[in-house]
Amino acid sequence: MKLVIVESPNKCGKIKSFLGSEYSVMASVGHIREIPKDGMNIDIKGGTFEPTFVVSSGKKDVVKGLKEAAKKSDSIYLATDADREGESISQHIYDVLDKESQKKCKRITFIEITKKAILDAINKPRDIDKNWVDAQKARQVLDRLIGYKVSPWLIFQKRVKGSSAGRVQSVAMLIVCNRQREIDAFKPEDYWFLEALLKCKNGEFWGKVVTKDKDNKYTVEKIAQEDLDKLKKASYKIDKIEKSEKKNNAPPPFDTNSLQATCSSLFGWSLSKSQTIAQKLYETGKISYIRTDSFNISQEALDEVRKLIKESYDTEYLPKQAIIHIKKSGAAASASQEAHECIRPTHSSDDGHDIDDSDEQKMYKLIRDRFFACQMNPQIVDQVSYDIETDTGHKLIAKGQSIRFDGWAKAYKYSKTKEEVLPECTEKESLALKEINKTKHTTKPPDRYNEGSLAKAMEKEGVGRPSTRAGIITSIQKKGFVEKDKKSKGLIATELGMHICDLLQPNFKDFFMDIKYTAGLENDLDDIKDGKKKYLEVVKGVYDLLQKHLKDLGETGNEIQKGVNMGAKCSVCKKGDIVEKKGRFGDFLSCSNYPECKTIFTKNEDGTFKVKEKAVVKSTGRKCPECKKNGRNGELVERTNKSNGNTFIACNAYPRCKYIDGQGDGEKGKKKDYKKFVKKDKKVEPEKTTKTNETDEGSDDLDL
């Protein structure tokens, strides 16, 4: 028996149908290991900067099943996704297997779920690419270092509750906050246009009075009114006619960002919804791999779509040669993952009639139509411009255009070219004034980013990657740094988000709060992937810069915890001093000899100190079922809700275990969210969850 391991369970049936009975197909259900959240868990002291990985919560049964199946298999094909994240998951699967099973492992990748693609991949196995694994590991470690080092500075020193910092999260927030500042600083201004309805021999048309302004607007109403009065009595004639031809070239095929942005614009979908629908289409074999920033197209796919264009449309729609779309110069172009293809149908001949879900049908048609369009001839537009003169010295201009040949727009009807047909005129022809109007307008502030345009802005700046942007944008909303306007869907920086940006930017402006630096760091990660740079070189360089910034602030991680000496010795350990520290919930008194001595003190009215009495915890004599299931020794105890005084039964291993047994009323066996229960009268931000399937991007940044 041969074993194929993929990420998503939804792929298993399809791939199994291609491979037959001698293959077994299983899923890792996304990531199986993670860096524990209870601390840094990175070897900083040893100088290796290697992270500690443990099996993710809830994945023990998955890992157990994979290990048992691996032992029984003759060959093991690690078929996780064809990106750095997928390579990392393959490495983690390999690491949890026994040595005999590891000898049977081979790495395969494919960018579409078709029989040919799967069989081609199995016939061309390779080793796990350690450079790709290191690049993904570097991303995780850098996010952990910045999040866990800077977040305490915000929380403990600046007293910004609910705050966190992140390598990419903070830059995404900065982009939204900068736009917010532009909107707040914007001062509306009135302006006016003068437009005349003129009649020639063959019809009527509107002309606009030309001013010194590039948009032909008046900024002073008095001048506009004076010109209006003069033009009411003026005579008009055609001075010059200019005709030209404009070619609108075919749009490129979709990559991740442009697909999400287009779905946001056309259908009003969130990035996460677009991502979920695209994932389903990929898993059912309808489209190619969905996490890409490349416009590449395989020769086989090109040949197929060009053949279909020739059969479905007139020959004038098909270019003599295939069109090669190249990313424009800039950060986004340099970051393009050229090993991938664009997002396209796996079979261009498939019109998607068998897709049941309406949203999936919408997206598939959009992708297929765009793929056809990207290989079709340009749209040709005839443009005409009439320059009009008057006896008062004023000039007017009228512009029109009409589509001569629709070209690629024949297939892709989502993009409309506005036609404005002018009646036929001749030079020096006299015109009659039918009416002339002065219209008032007011300048508008810059548009707010929506999810799609923010992802596009991040791509333009080279911040994040296709697999991370949606997760980051979702994360800053969940954390309350940015909120979405219910009506316009625009992203608004909250007071908390603006406050965090105001604290981070001046202190880390030439570090992770510098968009160019963050984009450059993404390139460093690409260099690790390509073998141009080493993992330790990049990670240590960032850590050293981070420590320098924290030292300049006078607040490294150790200094944050040092506290203010209160001039008294610890009465328990006799070694440490009593110090006042800053905590998440305010100031508190403790021993400076922490963690050896964990004594907490209170201050008496006479200025002396006494040990704070610990709350009496009443045991129920029962073991925690959640801990028992995960191999821990938690015990259920009776606790008191500090906000309302009510009692409840919970695990004594909190915060590691958040199991709650009922609500103190004898009801048993209910697993509840500990934080939401004990603080149910307050708004609580949703907690991050471990990635459980391929549509869960998670956060690109880890924080405290």
The size of the chain, in residues, is 704
One domain, residues 647 and 679: yes
pLDDT in tens, 422-433: 999 999 999 999
More confident residue, 148 or 585: 148
CA nearest neighbour of 3 among 117, 136, 104? 104
Question: For residue 295, what is the domain's CATH number?
Answer: 1.10.290.10
**Span 466-472, mean pLDDT?**
87
Least reliable range by pLDDT among 36-40, 334-338, 366-370, 613-617: 334-338
pLDDT of 159: 62
642 has pLDDT over 70? no
Average pLDDT over residues 171-200: 96
**Is residue 451 in some structural domain?**
no
pLDDT in tens, 440-450: 999 999 999 99
For 267-319, what is each residue's pLDDT tens digit?
Answer: 999 999 999 999 999 999 999 999 988 899 999 999 999 999 999 998 999 99
DSSP 154: I
CB neighbour class for 322 (10 Å; exposed up to 12, middle 13-18, buried from 19): middle
Q: What is the pLDDT of residue 6?
A: 97
Q: Assess if residue 45 is contained within a domain.
A: yes
Catalytic residue among 191, 218, 289, 674: 289
Nearest to 591 by CA among 580, 604, 582: 580
Cβ atoms of 604 and 598 within 8 Å: the answer is: no
Q: Are residue 10 and residue 116 in the same domain, yes or no?
A: yes
Domain contains 677: yes
- The boundaries of the domain holding residue 686 are 616-704
- Within a domain: 467: no
* Averaged confidence pLDDT in the chain: 88
**Residue 538 and residue 576 in one domain:** no
Rounded Cα distance, 92 and 75, in Å? 17
My answer on whether 418 and 485 are in the same domain is no
The yes-or-no verdict on residue 676 having pLDDT over 60 is no
The CATH number that applies at residue 58 is 3.40.50.140
Answer yes or no: is 137 within a domain.
no
Domain tally for the chain? 6
Q: How does pLDDT run across 25-70, given as a tens digit for each residue?
A: 999 999 999 999 888 999 999 999 999 999 998 899 999 999 999 9
Same domain, 116 and 159: no
Put simply, whether the predicted model's pTM sits higher than 0.85 gets the answer no
Q: Has residue 633 got a pLDDT over 50? A: yes
pLDDT reported for residue 545: 95
Asked about 289 being catalytic, the answer comes back as: yes
Domain boundary residue, one of 442, 457, 482: 442
CATH number at residue 198: 2.70.20.10
Look at residue 672 and tell me whether its pLDDT is greater than 60: no
Say whether pLDDT at 694 is over 90. no
Q: Nearest-CA neighbor of 207 among 380, 382, 384, 381?
A: 384
Cβ neighbours for 691, distance < 8 A, ≥ 6 positions apart: 30, 31, 697, 698
Asked whether the predicted pLDDT for residue 245 surpasses 90, the reply is: yes
Most confident among 473-477, 548-552, 652-656, 688-692 (mean pLDDT) = 473-477
pLDDT 10s digits, 556-585 = 444 445 667 888 899 999 989 998 876 655
Residues 245 and 386 in one domain: yes
Residue 361 has pLDDT above 50, yes or no: yes
| Residue 345 DSSP symbol | B
Weakest mean pLDDT among 229-243, 385-399, 642-656: 642-656
Q: Model confidence over 365-412: pLDDT tens digits?
A: 999 999 999 999 999 999 999 999 999 999 999 999 999 999 999 999
Kindly tell me if the per-residue pLDDT of 7 is higher than 90: yes
Q: What is the pLDDT of residue 598?
A: 87
Residues 590 and 539 in one domain: no
Q: Which of 356, 373, 390 is the last residue of a domain?
A: 373
% of the chain beyond a pLDDT of 90: 67
Pair (579, 622) in one structural domain: no
Are residue 121 and residue 23 in the same domain, yes or no? yes
- Per-residue pLDDT band for 554 (boundaries 50, 70, 90) equals low
Can you tell me which residue has the tokens 């880390």? 508
494 and 570 part of one domain:
no
Using the 3D structure, point to which of 343, 373, 403 is the last residue of a domain: 373
The mean per-residue pLDDT over the stretch 320-348 comes to: 75
Q: Is 562 left (phi over 0), alpha (psi -120 to 50) or beta?
A: alpha
pLDDT (mean) for 595-604: 88
pLDDT of 499 over the 60 cut: yes
Is residue 455 in a domain? no
Residues 36, 114 within the same domain: yes
Residue 153, domain CATH: 1.10.460.10
Residue at 135 is within a domain: no
Residue 43: inside a domain, yes or no? yes
pLDDT at 682 over 80: no
Whether residue 603 sits in one domain with residue 634: no
